[in-house]
Structure 1
Amino acid sequence: MLTAGVDLAAEPRGTALAVIDWSGTTARVVELEAGVSDVRIASLAPDVASLGIDCAFGWPDDFVAFVTRHAAGDPPHRSEGELTGSGMEWRRRLAYRETDRATRMQTGRWPLSVATDRLGLTAMHCAALLHSLSTVIGAIDRSGGGVAAEVYPSATLRLWGFSTVGYKADPAIRATLLGAIQQRAPWLELTRVADLMTASDDAFDAVIAALAARAHALGKWHRPPPESLERAGREGWIVLPAVDLAELKPSSWPGAA
């Protein structure tokens, strides 16, 4: 099995790609690249069991409806009974997707808002990337039902019990976090890529995205509930692992179930 992770940025120069090979007794990061193009990502998509992409796959339904009404010159609220622009609850409903609310319930933190935060430019890039991917792997199921999966590396790390404070900005903290990961997952070979993961938070997150993709490929992730599935197909759904990092070990690792 191969899984891939993409730390997506607004431009290729900030985008990183990792590929992990799970076929041996250990899991090996066989590729870790920075400055990756959409063409490169699309070229490997047919060969992986799961492609984890760190970016929102869509926008909140309520935000899309709000922008559509505003463009048409209609009132921003759908009915007189709906909260108007003076309420934080109303604005928060526009700003966040159903999966963002679910992620906050599981992790205690709000993800960045694709509608109102700096993630927006990257999400535009993601929309174009998903279209490119659809030409090589078929229609993209934004709810996580296909090869492509929306992942969230920092939330994944927190769910696995790792501290994520400061790791994005500080190479020393990334080095410490890397050591903690290797202690918990001795079957994960990171020696060859450790320097790049320490130097670049983009490369670091690409590897974590590829680990989250393993949980996705094994079906060990929190799926959208039935009542949210249709909405998730439009808005996207963050694939959060439902098992500890240790449960992702290669099947041929000594002692693996």
Structure 2
Amino acid sequence: MRTAGVDLAAADERTALAVIEWSPGRAVLRDLRLGVSDADIVAAVPTCAKTGIDCALGWPEPFIRLLVAHRAGHAADLPSPGGGAAWRRAMVYRTTDEVIRADFGLIPLSVSADRLAHAAMRCAAILATLAAAGVDVDRSGAGAIVEAYPAVALRRWDLTHRGYKGRHDPLVDALRARAWLDLGGHEPLMRASHDAFDAVIAALTARAAALGRATRPGPAQLAPARVEGWIAVPTADLDELPEAS
């Protein structure tokens, strides 16, 4: 089995791709690159059982409805002046974002009110290209793609998850110490770039999802997850990932 991880930025220069090959009791980091194009990502996804993308896969449904109503001038569908904090929060955060906040105390960036939107626009184009090629891109994580959030995966694995970007050498050490994980000569890039490091964490998250060992939306959450995306949090410990493939 192979899994991939993508740390998606608005520009190629800050986008990283990792590919991990899994065999019973062992994992090898086969590829790790910066400066990754849309075409590189589209080519990699079909070669892997699961790809974790560190980017929101969609926008909040209430926000989408707001834009449609605003464009059409449907005043009855728009809020009264001010709208209120609760109304604005529904525009800003997805169902999965609120679950992450409640369960793990982390607040994902807003795809509708933060710079993450630039990367999400790029992600939408990539997903559309994959779907046109016949790849299942169910945004709830049921298909070839799963939404990854490295900070929450690190928290789940009891590793430093706050303020680690640019100071992640101890985290690379923690991965390197796993006898089952062979970084395959890519350790210098992991240390030099937190984008490359996050791509590896996204590939590990994809492995958990491929094993059925990551969170999935419940029945009431499935409909919004298929539109907005769903952050997969590993339920397996890090050292449980190299199970029999």
Q: TM-score, normalised by structure 2?
A: 0.94
Q: Choose which of 175, 183, 186 in structure 2 pairs with 1:190.
A: 183
- Kept in 2, the 8 Å contact 1:27–1:250? The answer is no
Partner of 2:49: 49
Q: Secondary structure at the match of 2:131?
A: helix
Matched, 1:32 2:26: no
1:5 alignment partner in structure 2: 5
Match of 1:245 in 2: 238
In the other structure, the counterpart of 1:199 is 192
* Preserved contact between residue 28 and residue 184 of structure 2 (Cα < 8 Å): no
Deviations 1:43-76 (A, max 9, x none): 1222111011111110000011111122222338
Amino acid aligned to 1:114: V
In structure 2, the partner of 1:134 is 131
Q: Is the 8 A contact 2:97 2:107 kept in 1?
A: yes
C-alpha separation in 2, matches of 1:213 and 1:76: 43
| Structure 2 residue 174 is the aligned partner of structure 1 residue 177 | no
Name the aligned partner's letter for residue 73 of structure 2.
G
Change over 3 Å in CA distance of 1:7–1:14 after alignment to 2: same
Which letter does structure 2 place at the counterpart of 1:123?
A: A
Residue type matched to 1:144 in 2?
Answer: G
Contact kept? 2:136, 2:144, Cα under 8 Å: no
Shift of residue 107 of structure 1? 1.3
Q: For structure 1, which segment, 129-138 or 12-21, has the greater mean C-alpha deviation from structure 2 after superposition?
A: 129-138
Note the 1:145-160 alignment, pairs <5 A.
145-160=142-157
- What letter is aligned with 1:178? V
Structure 1 position 106, deviation (Å): 2.0
Rounded to whole Å, the distance in 2 between the matches of 1:150 and 1:14 is 18
Deviation per CA, 1:162-199, whole angstroms, max 9, x where unpaired?
A: 1123221x2xx21111112333x321112611110110
Deviations 1:119-176 (A, max 9, x none): 00000000001011123343420111101111111111111111123221x2xx2111
SS across alignment from 2:23: coil
Matched residue type, 1:62: P
Distance 1:230 1:54 in 2: 21
Q: Kindly indicate whether residue 215 of structure 2 is the aligned counterpart of residue 222 of structure 1.
A: yes
Q: Is the 8 A contact 1:38 1:132 kept in 2?
A: no
Partners of 2:220 and 2:81 in 1: CA distance: 26
In structure 2, the partner of 1:111 is 108
3-state SS of paired residue (2:75): coil
Give 1:232's aligned residue: 225
1: CA distance, partners of 2:207 / 2:70: 41
The amino acid that maps onto 1:193 is H
Shift of 1:235: 0.7
How many residue pairs end up in the alignment? Answer: 245
Asked if structure 2 preserves the Cα contact closer than 8 Å seen for 1:77 and 1:84, the reply is no
Shift of 1:88: 1.3
Q: Percent identity?
A: 48
> 4+ runs of 1 displaced by more than 3 Å?
75-78
1:122 to 119, 123, 141: 119
Q: CA RMSD in A?
A: 1.8
Aligned to 1:60: 60
Task: Tell me if the contact between 2:29 and 2:184 (Cα under 8 Å) persists in the aligned partners.
Answer: no
TM-score (norm 1): 0.90
